[in-house]
Amino acid sequence: MKKNLLWLFAALFVSVCSTTLLSSCDKDDDPAVIPQPPVKEYFTLWNECEALTALKAYVADVTNPSSKNFIKEEDRIATFDMDGTFIGELYPTYFEYNLLEYRALDDVTYKDQAPDDVKETAQEIRDFVRYGKKLPDHFDMKHAYAAAKAYSGMTLAEFDAYVKAYAATPANGFKGMTYAQSFYKPMLEVFDYLKDNGFTYYVVSGSDRFICRSLVESLGIEPNRVIGMDVRLKSSKQGAEEGVDYTMGKEEYLIRTDELIIKNLKTNKVLQISQEIGKVPVLSFGNSSGDCAMHNYCMGNQQYPTATFMLVADDDARDHADLAEGARREAKWREAGYIVISMKNDFKTIYGDGVEKVDFTFNENT
C-alpha cells in the first residue's frame, strides 16, 4: 500500500510539472530552441587593418585546443608599454616629465626647497618642451635620479594623491580631456579582447611604478600587474637602519626615498619581466626603442608562437605627431619583424568623442 501511494504521488508530481512547463511556453515557440546570448562585439573603434587581422588570427590560433600552436591559459602572458602605447605621450612630453617640471618649478609647496640638480633637470624639460632645446644625452637616467629626489619623503598614499591631482588637470594641447583620461581608446579594446580570451596582461613601463599604478587604476589593472621604474622604500621609523636588521611596527607606514633602484628601460624591462612574472611573454606591445628588448625577448620564446606590435604616432590631425619620426620608426619596426599599428590609419578615434587637438599653451610668467 505504501509503495502504491509513493508511486501515485510521484506520478502526480510529474504530471503537474509537465503541465506547468507546457503552459509556460507560447504556442508559437519551439521549446527545443534555446536562446543564445548576444555575441560580444570587439574592436568597434578600429578600422580593418593589417595589425588587427594579425592579432585576431594569432589569438584564434593559440586559443584553439585543436591547434598545434595552442597555448595553455596560464602561459598566455602579454606585456604592454604604457606611454605612447596606450596612453598619450606627446602632451607635450611624457606624463612623468611634465609632473617633475611642475613639481620643481611651479609647485609652491616644494619649488623653493627643491635641490639644484632637480631644478636643473626640470628646467631642461621646460626648455625642451617650450623652445625645442635638445635634452642632454642619457636624460632618461638624469630624470630618474632627479625624480627620486623630488618625491622623497612622501608616503605612498601621499604620492598617489599627488599624481592623481596633477592627472586631473586639463591635458595641454587638447580640449575636452584631462591627463587622467588620455588613454588611446582603441588600445583599451585590446585589453578587453585579450582578457576575454584568457590572457593576463602586464604594464611594463619606463615610468615610475607608482605613477603607472595611479594612472591605470581606473582601467581595473591590478597593482601587481604593473612593472616600472623603482625607488627604494623604507618604513617611516626605520631611519638609516637596513631593512634586514629592522622590524617594522604595525603603526608604521612606507615612504619613498631618494635612492633609485632601476630605470625600467630596454634590457632592464626583460630582467624585470623575468623576475616579477617568471614567464616569457607570448604577446608584446610597445612604441619605441625602449621596448625593443622586451619584444625580442618575447620573439625568442622557445615554447610558443609569439606576436609583437609597435604603435606608430603618425596622426598629426588628432594628435601631436612628428610625421618624419613616425615614418622612420615604422620602417625600422617592420625591418625588425614587428607588426605596425598606425594611429592614423588603424584607429577610428584616438581619445574618444569630444576631444580636440589644439595648440600647446604655456604660462609666460613661469
Q: Taking a C-beta distance cutoff of 8 angstroms, is the pair 310, 81 a contact?
A: no
Q: Is the pLDDT of residue 329 over 90?
A: yes
Number of domains in the chain: 1
Q: Taking a C-beta distance cutoff of 8 angstroms, is the pair 319, 88 a contact?
A: yes
pLDDT of amino acid 17: 41
For 69, half-sphere exposure in the C-beta direction (CA atoms, 13 angstrom radius) is 12
For range 290-319, the mean pLDDT: 98
Q: Taking a C-beta distance cutoff of 8 angstroms, is the pair 322, 153 a contact?
A: no
pLDDT tier for residue 32 given thresholds of 50, 70 and 90:
low
Q: How far apart are the first and last CA of the chain?
A: 100
Residue 341 included in any domain:
yes
For range 294-309, the mean pLDDT: 98
pLDDT tier for residue 39 given thresholds of 50, 70 and 90:
confident
Choose the weakest-confidence range: 28-37, 121-130, 186-195, 247-256: 28-37
Three cell numbers written together for 260:
633609485
- Say which CATH number the domain at 305 has: 3.40.50.1000
Angle between helices 156-167 and 209-216 (to 10 degrees): 60
pLDDT of amino acid 164: 98
pLDDT tier for residue 5 given thresholds of 50, 70 and 90:
very low
User: Which residues face 46 on adjacent strands?
Assistant: 347
The string of pLDDT tens digits covering residues 48-78 is: 999 999 999 999 999 999 999 999 999 999 9
Residue 39 included in any domain:
no
Residue 258 included in any domain:
yes
236: exposed, middle or buried (Cβ count in 10 Å: 0-12, 13-18, 19+): middle
The string of pLDDT tens digits covering residues 143-156 is: 999 999 999 999 99
> For residue 96, what are the contacts with CB-CB under 8 A and spacing of at least 6?
83, 143, 147, 207, 208, 211
pLDDT tier for residue 25 given thresholds of 50, 70 and 90:
very low
pLDDT tier for residue 139 given thresholds of 50, 70 and 90:
very high
Residue 138 included in any domain:
no
Residue 76 included in any domain:
yes
Q: Taking a C-beta distance cutoff of 8 angstroms, is the pair 71, 62 a contact?
A: yes
> For residue 127, what are the contacts with CB-CB under 8 A and spacing of at least 6?
133
Q: Taking a C-beta distance cutoff of 8 angstroms, is the pair 91, 320 a contact?
A: yes
Q: Taking a C-beta distance cutoff of 8 angstroms, is the pair 228, 211 a contact?
A: yes
Residue 146 included in any domain:
no
For 197, half-sphere exposure in the C-beta direction (CA atoms, 13 angstrom radius) is 26
Residue 257 dihedral angles phi and psi, to the nearest 5°: -110, 180
pLDDT of amino acid 364: 77
Residue 69 included in any domain:
yes
Of residues 327 and 17, the one with the higher pLDDT is 327
pLDDT of amino acid 33: 72
Rounded distance between C-alpha atoms, residue 91 and residue 264, angstroms:
22
Q: Taking a C-beta distance cutoff of 8 angstroms, is the pair 76, 198 a contact?
A: yes
Q: Which residue range is the domain that position 333 belongs to?
A: 50-89+179-239+249-356
For range 166-170, the mean pLDDT: 98
Residue 364 included in any domain:
no
Three cell numbers written together for 38:
548576444
Q: What angle do CA 115, 121, 125 make, to 5 degrees?
A: 140
The string of pLDDT tens digits covering residues 220-239 is: 999 999 999 999 999 999 99
Q: Pairing mode, if any, of strands 77-80 and 283-286?
A: parallel
For range 188-200, the mean pLDDT: 98
Three cell numbers written together for 180:
587622467
pLDDT tier for residue 29 given thresholds of 50, 70 and 90:
low
Rounded distance between C-alpha atoms, residue 84 and residue 82, angstroms:
6
pTM for this one?
A: 0.89
